[in-house]
């Protein structure tokens, strides 16, 4: 298709914010706890899984506040490397 030959004007552009077009599958509490334990093991972190879960939730809330203020939603890689586990 030749875009220069397209005669109709653009009437709107859609942006996906908050999982409208892309979403994650909800996990059970046991699945979440298992995932957190695996992450702690992979990182060889000297912290309990409960403490690590609290840290993740704190960082997730900080990201959510930032995203709502800036109207920017990061991709998964940037979310994890810049907000959830930057260290």
Asked whether residue 2 carries a pLDDT value surpassing 60, the answer given is: no
Instruction: Answer with the residue of higher pLDDT: 65 or 11.
Output: 65
Whether the full predicted model's pTM is greater than 0.85, yes or no, is no
The per-residue pLDDT for 58 is 97
Residues 29/37, Cβ–Cβ less than 8 Å? no
Taking the C-alpha atoms of residue 73 and residue 67, their distance in angstroms, rounded to an integer, is 6
Predicted confidence (pLDDT) at residue 1 exceeds the cutoff of 60: no
Residue 25: the pLDDT is: 81
Cβ-contact 49, 37 below 8 angstroms: yes
**32-78 pLDDT tens trace:** 999 999 999 998 989 999 999 999 999 999 999 999 999 898 988 99
């Amino acid at each position: 298709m030749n875009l220069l030959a397209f005669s109709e004007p653009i009437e709107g552009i859609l942006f996906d914010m908050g999982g409208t077009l892309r979403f994650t599958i909800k996990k059970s509490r046991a699945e979440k706890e298992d995932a957190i334990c695996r992450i702690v093991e992979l990182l060889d972190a000297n912290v309990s899984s409960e403490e690590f879960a609290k840290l993740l939730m704190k960082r997730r809330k900080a990201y959510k506040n930032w995203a709502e203020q800036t109207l920017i939603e990061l991709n998964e890689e940037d979310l994890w490397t810049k907000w959830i586990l930057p260290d």
